[in-house]
Amino acid sequence: MTNTAPVPVRRDLSDAPLLVAARGGVPSRTPVWFMRQAGRSLPEYRKVREGIAMLESCLTPDLACEITMQPVRRHGVDAAILFSDIVVPLYAAGIGVEIVGGVGPVVANPVRTKADVDALPDLTAEQVAPVADTIRLLTAALGDTPLIGFAGAPFTLASYMIEGGPSKNHERTKALMHSAPDVWHALLGKLAGITTEFLRVQVEAGIDAMQLFDSWAGALSERDYREYVLPHSTRVFDSLRDAGIPRIHFGVGTGELLVAMRDAGADVVGVDWRIPLDEAVRRLTAARPDGPAPVVQGNLDPALLFADWPVLEKEVRRIHAEGKAAAGHIFNLGHGVLPDTDPEVVTRVTELVHALS
Ligand code: CP3
């Protein structure tokens, strides 16, 4: 007799330390992974990427699967993060964007007017089918290790769309936000739709947790964040609540925005290295004294991976201890692994975090 019951796409990983911590439970050890752990610092990554463009590698399932697996094999981290980029759904939807070496994403026709926004396409699931294929390969290859899917949040995507590329001051973005709020909200609404669809495809393919990167949100005041950004990030998180998997929200320099970013609907709040984790927990708890205790992720300064080991060890121990203030702590960096990082140091930090728990 053949079994006709549908095979569930999501693995049962209820004991995985990352997922236990994300829900505020007591994991068997402190989970650790590193933002930008795939690619960058790994020689095995540079080898497989040779001669293949960044966006092409994100949309080649075998290759993207291999790159995602590399840091899991090498470091023994508690999660894989899908090898992709925040501009992948824009590119897949047909928006003219490329990743230029040494620069980052470059947008051919920056968005400045309502007509520019109206001309932007939506994203369909078929356009990111290779990403779903990559996720299916990964859930088969990863064993008990959870897979984190991700997308860029509407504000951070908007900054690239408006500026035309990476920006230090986000001046055109802020000018548009304040001078033409109708155009702004139309653009963020569009991007929220693309982000939601991209994450939904990942959920349906089997990711175990998701991270929404609002990397550049820290450039905003809390007032502007709440007025111009929060409604759109909230829409993304709300649309994905029914997935039932942890939703992580991260930005750089967001000490003043942590409460607002949690209000967007995050289960786990990412913290960069600028404020101690126990202070982040204090701020989050004060904002919702009767709510569930906060879960945080972070927050080793990525530059400290270049320091002498005794210094680094002390920092890892401090952060591990400060993380105890939270209902759950996922050890991570405060931002991505820097390209010149010695991968052996990353392995050593992983081992230390595991030994401390
Ligand atoms: O770092 C962050 O703030 C995370 C969010 C983010 C990603 N891409 C996720 C990502 C952001 C802001 C980007 C934009 C982007 N894309 C940049 C930054 C430019 C700027 O404004 O400063 C760059 C250089 C790219 C292009 C890119 N993305 C390359 C060349 C690579 C592969 C190698 C590398 O440098 O990591 C990526 C991969 C990428 N982008 C990943 C993620 C989560 C996957 C790698 C991983 O997480 O391990």
Please give the single-letter amino acid code of residue 288.
Answer: R
Q: Is residue 246 a contact partner of residue 23, using CB atoms and an 8 Å limit? A: yes
For the segment 27-49, what is each residue's pLDDT rounded down to a tens digit? Answer: 999 999 999 999 889 999 999 99
Q: Does any ligand 1 atom lie closer than 6 A to the CB of residue 81?
A: yes
- Token readout for 48 is 């497989």
pTM for the full model? 0.96
- Sheet containing 328-333, strands listed edge to edge, beginning at the edge strand earlier in sequence: 80-81, 147-152, 209-213, 247-250, 268-270, 295-300, 328-333
User: Does the pLDDT value for residue 7 go beyond 80?
Assistant: no
Average pLDDT over residues 232-258: 98
Q: Does any ligand 1 atom lie closer than 6 A to the CB of residue 166?
A: yes
Which residue of the set 29, 36, 274, 283 is catalytic?
A: 36
- The Å distance, Cα 160 to ligand 1 centre, comes to 12
List C-alpha distances in Å: 205 to 15, 129, 143, 270, 289. Answer: 21, 10, 16, 24, 37
Beta-strand pair 104-107/97-100: antiparallel
User: Does the pLDDT value for residue 63 go beyond 50?
Assistant: yes
143 Cβ contact partners less than 8 Å away, ≥ 6 residues apart: none
Q: How many CA atoms lie within 13 A of 79 on its CB side?
A: 35
- The Å distance, Cα 184 to ligand 1 centre, comes to 24
Average pLDDT over residues 85-92: 98
